[in-house]
Every structure is written in structure tokens, then in C-alpha cells.
Amino acid sequence: MGRRCWSSALPASRDIAALGNYSLIMRSCLKVLTSIIVAALAATMQPIAPTQATTVPLGTADASAPSAAGTAKSIQTVRWGPRALAKGRFEHTRMAGGLVLGSSTRRVTYDDPYGGSGRLAYDRGRWYSPRHSTGFGFDELIASYNASTPVGTFLEISVRGVTSGGSQSSWDSLGRWASHDIAFHRMSLGSQPDDFGRVAVDTLVTNPGVTYRSWQLRVTLMRRAGSGKTPTLTMLAAVASRLPGSSATSTPRSGARVSLLVPRYSQQIHRGEYPQWDGGGEAWCSPTSTSMALSFWGRGPTPRQYDWVNDDYAQPWVDYAARYTYAWGYDGTGDWPFNTAYAARFGLDAFVTRLRSLREAELFLRAGIPLVATVSFGAGELDGAPLRSTSGHVLVVTGLTAGGDVIVNDPAAPTGKTVRRVYKRGQFENAWSDKGGVVYVIHPASKSLPDPGKHSNW
């Protein structure tokens, strides 16, 4: 969902059996080349020498029961800031304003599979989260993070789980990331299938009939050997979930209208721009939506930062966002954690989570925080949408009408003037919350998140 913003003349379809309640057909559209190099990617970090409190999930389903329509939406998000990160296990890492490389590191070699420099020496350190039990059997997990990565550094996030039967999975990479692209390619490492699950772009997905009861994250920090630089991780989050296939339309919390004045950008005006970063147009819904959220907060790249963009291109900050959210391996700009990590570069707190319905989204909107949301729908399923159908699209939820319908900035509109749309509440929830309910939460520290109360997902 929300991968490449594809439209289609056919209704959107979902491989429910293989991918659970959230994965899209776009998950199967990775290039054949990616599957060929997955085995090689696993060997790209070879050693030269050996060497917060969590809330209780709301309405969780029975951990032993399979997901099915009509069961509760089990969602739980855990976030670590600098203080909570101190509770993890350190391996050649330490805390200094965030998680950084230690004074002593392990020397390894790294061969960027999309670069041409061959194996280069790097210093490596790792951090391991405490094992976290969810209290329900989950089948998907997304990790997100805020970090600074000077040139010559990057980080990798990996996850493993323990099944409801007590078996431990292998470590699976959820992506290698840096804010720069100098002699480094941020990337998705493909599906990495094993006995219990696989990775769909940036999301751990268990195999049919398998659920995990606990998870653990591993953060790998890397720098060119001897450079003295270090990545700095300041926030790490994970949202684990098991969702039914459908649910009833929610009722509004209030009859009062709310509408946030989010700038309106169209992805379509970028059609054909920078093919090396997926060519604009239908492919750039996520960086366009992320750019709208950044502009709402008065943040984003400076003219000096995007002065490399062709002078003939309007809204060059969107081109900039596409470049710095692009994921090799997946070959697109719709990697969710890459978008929130990009947003965090501009002094914002940004993470990925799932919401159960528009009742939860309403809490954010009334707190003054717009949400970047992912949707998919078939022909005739979302009245007034600029796309006839899509197997994955990203837009910005900006408000609610007095009757509870949804006000959005939909970047698939042909021009900025036509971006604002109002979608029927039930149709939007079918396209969004029933397809995973994924959102990017992007806000400054000065704007508090809504009180989570009994909610467990922020």
C-alpha cells in the first residue's frame, strides 16, 4: 500500500493469503533483478577479523486465533528516545545525545551492491533492543527511526521474532538508510524469506498461519574506517499489528468541522522528471505528500539545498524529497520509514504507525496534526478520487467535515488547485483503515501528540 501510486483500469487486488491484511499487489512488483541479488546482499557485511514503557494494546484478539473479518484490530507501537535507548544492549556503541558508535568498533568490509567501488573497510557497531512481547499474536511489523548520518555513514535496521509456538526467526533487514547518497545507495534488501516470514519492502510479514508473540530490533551503525564520523540515532519505533480484513464504518467523535491549511502540491506536475528516481508523476505520491506535511510546519530543504534541480521544474523541493527518499532494490520513493526519516532531517519528530479508524485520526487532526495516509481501492470505490483505482497511493488527511467525511490533499490531482478533495467516510475507511491504516505522523516537538488514553499505537 502506498508504494508507487499506481493507478489501474482494474480494481485493486490484494494477496490476502500471502500478505495478510495490509500488503498490496505492489509488493509483488519488485524487479526480477532484486530477487536475483538478495543472496548477494546477505553477504555485503563480512568481518575482516572476528572479533520506554509500553502501553497495553486496545482490543487485542486472542493470540492463538488467526486473523479474520470481525476480530479486533490489534495494534501496538513502541518508541524509544535517547533515554529509552540506554536500556538496550550495546556492542561497540554508546549513548551521546543519541545512539552513536563507540570508541572501539569492529572492522568489517561493505560492498554497496548498487555502487562500483567494491569492498571497502568500515567500522561497525550495533545496538539490540530488549525483547518485546506484544500480548497478542502479530503478523506484521514496521520499524521507523530518526537519525543523522554524515557522509560516509549509514545505518541498518533489522528485526527478528519469536513465534507463538516459541521458535525464533532469523534476523531480517528492514532497510539500509542514510540521508545522503554520496557513495552510498539507501536500499530495501528484498524479501529474505525463511521458515516464518519475509520482508515486503519495509515491513516484516509472517507466513500464512504464523504469528509472532515477541520481537527484537537490531540497529547497525556504519562509518568508513578511520573517519571518526558516526551516525546518531535519536528515535526508534516499531508498530506490530494483526488486523481483520474489514470493519464497520466508524462514527465521528464530534460534529464540529476541522480543516488544517496544508499546502497543496500535485505529483502529476513532475511527470517525467528525474527517471533515475522513478520519474515523477504517478510514482511520487509519497514524497509529494511528505513535502506537503513538511511545508505545513514551515520545514523542508532550502533553495541552496535544491539548487541542483532543473530551473524549469516547479516545486523543486518535491524533486529533492524524491531523490532523498528513493530506495534502491525496491526502486521507488514509497518506502514508508525512508519518508519519515527524511522528514526528521528537518528537526521534526516523525514515525510510522497504524490507526484503527478515523476516530483515532480525528484526535490528531483536532490536535492540529495532519496525517500522511496510505490507501488502495478499486474502480468506483472512492468517489471523487483523481485515480480511478490504485493498488497503492499516499495522500494527506487534512480534516473532517461536520458530517464526518474526510478532507484530504490528494497529490494525484492534475494541479495544485484541484488537490483538495472530500471523500465519503465509509469509502475512505474501506480504502485506508481496512487496508492497514498506515500513517506517517510528522510534527515538531512543540506540538504535542494527542493524549493516547487507552490507545496503544502512538
Which tens digit of pLDDT belongs to each residue from 60-108? 322 223 333 346 899 999 999 999 999 999 999 999 999 999 999 999 9
Task: Please check whether residue 333 is in contact with residue 327, taking contact to mean a CB–CB distance below 8 angstroms.
Answer: yes
At residue 71, the pLDDT reads 61
Contact 344, 445 (CB under 8 A): no
User: What's the average model confidence in pLDDT over 315-325?
Assistant: 98
Contact 207, 391 (CB under 8 A): no
Adjacent-strand bridge partners of 177? 155
- Other beta carbons less than 10 A from residue 102's beta carbon: 17
pLDDT in tens, 18-29: 333 333 333 334
- Convert the pLDDT of each residue in 343-364 to its tens digit: 999 999 999 999 999 999 999 9
Each residue's pLDDT tens digit, 184-238:
999 999 999 988 999 999 999 999 999 999 999 999 999 999 999 999 999 999 9
Question: What CA–CA distance (Å, rounded) separates 411 from 445?
Answer: 26
Alpha-carbon distance 174 to 217, whole Å?
A: 10
Cα distance between residue 14 and residue 3, in whole Å: 13
| pLDDT tens per residue, range 132-173 | 999 999 999 999 999 999 999 999 999 999 999 999 999 999
**What is the grid cell recorded at 226?**
578511520
Higher pLDDT residue, 281 or 21?
A: 281
Query: Where do the CATH 3.90.70.10 domains begin and end in the chain?
Result: 258-443
- How many percent of the chain have pLDDT more than 70? 84
- Cβ-contact 227, 152 below 8 angstroms: yes
pLDDT at 332 over 90: yes
Q: What's the mean per-residue pLDDT of the chain?
A: 88
The yes-or-no verdict on residue 311 having pLDDT over 70 is yes
- Identify the CATH assignment for 258-443 out of 3.90.70.10, 3.40.190.10, 3.30.70.100, 3.40.190.80: 3.90.70.10
